[in-house]
Amino acid sequence: MKSYRKELWFNTSKRVEFINITREVEQAVFESGVKEGLCLVNAMHITASVFINDDEPGLHQDYKEWLESLAPHKPLSRYKHNLTGEDNGDAHLKRQVMGREVVVAITEGRLDFGPWEQIFYGEFDGQRPKRVLIKIIGE
Amino acid sequence: MKSYRKELWFNTSKRVEFINITREVEQAVFESGVKEGLCLVNAMHITASVFINDDEPGLHQDYKEWLESLAPHKPLSRYKHNLTGEDNGDAHLKRQVMGREVVVAITEGRLDFGPWEQIFYGEFDGQRPKRVLIKIIGE
Amino acid sequence: MKSYRKELWFNTSKRVEFINITREVEQAVFESGVKEGLCLVNAMHITASVFINDDEPGLHQDYKEWLESLAPHKPLSRYKHNLTGEDNGDAHLKRQVMGREVVVAITEGRLDFGPWEQIFYGEFDGQRPKRVLIKIIGE
């Protein structure tokens, strides 16, 4: 069994931002040499997500507005978590809706994807350095 | 290490529909010959889910009504994604709540499940051919 | 390839409760002898979650209030599932938001975590014996 590990770093210019990381994950699969296996991609921070969906700007705007309606950023006093001095209570909730991680099959050395699947880093409390972990196992 | 891959195809008669695929996944585990390992089951389309819950019709109706209240299908103008000519903006949101994938342990050649766990394909934009991927690794 | 399986049992004193299980999962990784691999941790019951987030009491209170607003426990008549004699319709919905499972990378014999990641058992219909499954594969 082979295993491979890689980190991706991000420092977004906005508080909430989605970044397509499909090519970086494909590159990691290539580097791993794994032909058949599983690829885990997870946010290493608890106010960010990794998710799979469409690379369509209108949809991304829909996600941002919808998540803001489900868990508004303000008023900050809405969240007990913000009593710790943080202002990211909402980000911890948004991340649960969008998910921490994805697991993707690797088949014949490639991400085994449907026609529109793309992997995104979802940042909900950005403007600071944060990481994604890629872990690949297989043969 | 063994690996095994199988696709399931669906073409639902309704726009929103849940289908129990537990037996099909168990069959794939049997075909794989894997006794100890992991089984990934994921929607290959971005307006569908794979999730694990109870096979109880009342609960499924509850899920459908709840998801409709969180992300209504209409008015279509509610979603910027629908400006692309699609009418499935809501389906992309519903799928995030229910999830893209499940990972299930395989122990002694069987899905290692609690008493009520069943695997479902969750369709939110149906009436067209769509796929689920099963990927099994182990020994 | 090695594999390892362990169950954790819970019987919470409250209906809704979050329990930090990070040490128990780390212990299982140690027992497995796996140095490089994947660790699946999933609720074996369909009204409970396993999720990764911060071990901060204010945040946990925020989660509980937010989930209650998204899927209120009462009135029980709100959920068709409760017509079966159950009173846990809400718990099946809450569990979908928080998720059934997490998959964590194992690197150099340890859970490969970011700075604040902790694993929680999320109970939404407690006061009865329930289980979490840990399944580890790797080398």
User: Given CB atoms, is B94 within the 8 Å cutoff of chain A?
Assistant: no
CB within 8 Å of C53: residues ≥ 6 apart? A46, A92, A95, A96, C59, C63, C117, C118, C120
Closest-CA distance of chain C to residue B116, Å = 7
Task: Name the average pLDDT for chain A.
Answer: 98
The domains located in chain C, with CATH, are 2-138 (2.60.120.460)
CB within 8 Å of C70: residues ≥ 6 apart? A70, B70, C93, C94, C97
Q: Is A94 left (phi over 0), alpha (psi -120 to 50) or beta?
A: alpha
The pLDDT assigned to A36 comes to 98
**Counting one residue from B and one from C, how many pairs have CB atoms under 8 Å apart?**
91
The pLDDT assigned to B31 comes to 98
The pLDDT assigned to C6 comes to 98
The pLDDT assigned to C115 comes to 94
- Cβ-Cβ contacts under 8 Å, B45 against chain A: 114-116
Confidence band for A85, pLDDT divided at 50, 70 and 90: very high
Confidence check on the interface: ipTM exceeds 0.95, yes or no: yes
Subunits next to A (3 or more Cβ pairs <8 Å) are B, C
The pLDDT assigned to B19 comes to 98
Tokens 């389309």 sit at which residue? B45
**Counting one residue from A and one from C, how many pairs have CB atoms under 8 Å apart?**
92
Confidence band for C13, pLDDT divided at 50, 70 and 90: very high
User: Given CB atoms, is A69 within the 8 Å cutoff of chain C?
Assistant: no
The pLDDT assigned to B107 comes to 98
The one-letter amino acid at C74: K
User: Given CB atoms, is A102 within the 8 Å cutoff of chain C?
Assistant: no
User: Given CB atoms, is A88 within the 8 Å cutoff of chain C?
Assistant: no
Low-confidence ranges of chain B (pLDDT < 50): none
Cβ distance of C135 and B115 shorter than 8 Å: no
Mean pLDDT on A93-118: 98
Neighbours of A58 (CB within 10 A): 16
Cβ distance of A95 and C54 shorter than 8 Å: no
For residue C43, give the 3-state DSSP assignment. strand
Cβ distance of C42 and B103 shorter than 8 Å: yes
Q: Which of C37, C66, C113 sits opposite A93 (nearest CB)?
A: C66
CA distances, B121 to each of A3, A47, A133, B19, B28 (Å):
30, 28, 28, 5, 15
> How many DSSP H helices and E strands does chain C contain?
3, 8
Which of 37-56 (A) contact B at CB < 8 A?
A: 37-38, 51-54, 56
Cβ distance of B100 and A105 shorter than 8 Å: no
* Cis omega (within 30 of 0) for bond into B72: no
The pLDDT assigned to A98 comes to 98
Mean pLDDT on C110-125: 98
Mean pLDDT on C71-89: 98
